[in-house]
Amino acid sequence: MMKGQTGATGRPHMTSTHYSIFSVLREALRGHTGWGPAWRNAEPKPDYDVVIIGGGGHGLSTAYYLAKNYGPLRIAVLEKGWIGGGNVGRNTTIVRSNYLLPGNIPFYELSMKLWEGLEQDLNYNAMVSQRGVLNLYHSDAQRDAFARRGNAMRLHGVDAVLLDQAAVRKMVPFLDFDNGRFPIHGGLLQPRGGTVRHDAVAWGYARGADRLGVDIIQNCEVKGFIRDGGRVTGVETSRGLIGAKKIAMAVAGSSSRVAAMAGLRLPIESHVLQAFVTEGLKPFIDGVVTFGAGHFYISQSDKGGLVFGGDLDGYNSYAQRGNMPVVEDVCEGGMALMPRIGRVRLLRHWGGIMDMSMDGSPIIDKTPVDGLYLNSGWCYGGFKATPASGYCFAHLIARDAPHPVAAAYRLDRFATGHAIDEKGMGPQPNLH
Amino acid sequence: MRIACPHCGERSLDEFLYSGDATVKRPDFAGTTAMDDFVTYTFERTNPPGPHRELWYHAAGCHAWLVVTRNVSTHAVASVELARDVALAAKSATKDSAS
């Protein structure tokens, strides 16, 4: 589709190479001088069929599946910063589908299946690694709750294995099993869960969307909506007016700010979540391990650094940085679980802004404004949802009807009493 | 980020519990639009990027409920008031406007 087109600069578009062992060998032989950019840095056109606000994981995957499954469409992705600079590069890279409620399991399992075929689909190495996600339990009551969750998963065709202490000891022998307060009794394992290299997900989707003709427009901040009667007909941006038949928001922590420009008030609070990476170590944690007595999750990246995190700071924030009490709390969780990491030095630590919804579950729905679509409320589980979120959002935008596995993620579910509250915390965004 | 409690002085964040937006008001349960009003009150938030009035509870201190005005983009605390004083001021303002 790209061949023969010319860009705004008048130069022909660089068509990115198909990646394969042969392209790697060819480039190895000519000193890697032939690699072109993986996607065009497009200039905005006056109008599009669909404009997607937000060039993060969800926005890019939406663009990709829209173009792939419902094209040909003229699609633009508007990104305020640069591709890979937002939450898609700020998460702890974990993917899993170990949910409990019927509104959630099929959606996250679709996402897991899309992860499993993602690299072949995109022709891009996203380092999808199904190394297993192990949730530990520390009491009889927690074991029962995990058995229930595991059964719910298996009834939906998701893999789940309930492990006793001996089995966990075999997998991760260095945990503090006989901790006085939080002894480890066993765990619930999802063997197909794991990690994916998050930057590669952003780049892979950007490249895939670009190859299908999507314009990815960076440094383009949306400043307002153009309305015609009740309908949105375009966006005002820092790079001029852009018309659109349909406008889709996928802006995570900025959801309330962007929706406010269209006069909407959302069931969302923005909160800061911190994450941590240590210096590189030799491999010793094979999979993802989570502590059941507090909130702490850890995995080891392929570079060797320990990647871990815990709870939200707990107060509204747009600051992309957190405070010391949560740093302390996360480290205490880590020490209670695996004391051997106590002398490892932190390499870096950061905060990301989460779109915390009132029930802890996402929203993929039309808004009361005609032509405006909303993808939001991912709380701190957005990364694992990236493929299915885009897949279902694309379906909604193209067909004006929800995809069957995302049909529960309605914006009006709070008013109608159909909240999907996995943790049973009620309408308190900082507790989900 | 530290919060200057009017009773206890400037204290660490881990002494406080956060309880969200202080500008939402519980609607009249007997009103004709009560159902819609309660949905708005319970679930919808303005979630502004700048100054935010919010409730904090000094759980590991004097147990006072506070109304903190804080810029959520910088975490700078502009003011800390006792929630009791804020409620009493609002009450007397309503009384004044009614009389």
DSSP string, A27-49: HHHTTT--PPPSS--PPPPSEEE
Residues in chain A within 8 Å Cβ distance of B72: 270, 315-319
Average pLDDT over residues A137-155: 97
**pLDDT tens figures, A185-231:** 999 999 999 999 999 999 999 999 999 999 999 999 999 999 998 89
Q: Choose among A55, A54, A59, A49: nearest CA to A389.
A: A59
Question: Is A11 a residue whose pLDDT tops 80?
Answer: no
CB B78 within 8 Å of CB B64: no
Strands A215-217 and A194-195: unpaired
Task: Report the distance separating Cα A86 and Cα A199, nearest Å.
Answer: 10
Domain A123-193+269-357 fold is D-Amino Acid Oxidase; Chain A, domain 2 (3.30.9)
CB A205 within 8 Å of CB A57: yes
DSSP letter string over B53-85? EEEEE-TTTT--EEEEEEETTT--EEEEEEHHH
- Other Cβ atoms closer than 10 A to A137: 23
Closest residue in A to B56 (Cα–Cα): A315
Q: Which member of A267, A316, A325 has the closest CB to residue B72?
A: A316
- At the top level of CATH, the class of A43-90+198-266+359-431 is alpha beta
- Could you say which DSSP state residue A17 is in? P
Instruction: Choose from A254, A270, A313, A316 for mutation: most chain B CBs within 10 A.
Output: A316
Q: Is A260 on the interface with B (CB under 8 A)?
A: yes
For residue A328, the model assigns a pLDDT of 95
> What's the CATH code of the domain at B52?
3.30.2270.10
Q: What are phi and psi of A224, to 5 degrees?
A: 175, 170
Question: What is the domain extent for residue B76?
Answer: 2-98
Question: Is A119 a residue whose pLDDT tops 70?
Answer: yes
Question: Is A5 a residue whose pLDDT tops 80?
Answer: no
Task: Report the distance separating Cα B10 and Cα B3, nearest Å.
Answer: 5
Task: Report the distance separating Cα B23 and Cα B44, nearest Å.
Answer: 12
For residue A16, the model assigns a pLDDT of 67
**pLDDT tens figures, A302-358:** 999 999 999 999 999 999 999 999 999 999 999 999 999 999 999 999 999 999 999
Q: Choose among A325, A71, A388: nearest CA to A311.
A: A325
For residue B95, the model assigns a pLDDT of 82
CA distances, A373 to each of A46, A231, A402 (Å): 20, 12, 11
Q: Is B26 on the interface with A (CB under 8 A)?
A: no
**pLDDT tens figures, A382-394:** 999 999 999 999 9
Task: Report the distance separating Cα A198 and Cα A90, nearest Å.
Answer: 8
User: Where are the domain boundaries for CATH 3.50.50.60 in chain A?
Assistant: 43-90+198-266+359-431
For residue B96, the model assigns a pLDDT of 79
Mark yes or no for CB contact B72/A317 under 8 Å. yes
pTM of the model: 0.94
pLDDT-derived band at B99, boundaries 50, 70, 90: low
| ipTM of the prediction | 0.94
Question: Is B94 a residue whose pLDDT tops 90?
Answer: no
Count the domains in chain B: 1
**pLDDT tens figures, A62-77:** 999 999 999 899 999 9
Instruction: Choose from A80, A223, A315, A410 for mutation: most chain B CBs within 10 A.
Output: A315
Collapsing DSSP to helix, strand or coil, A163 comes out as strand
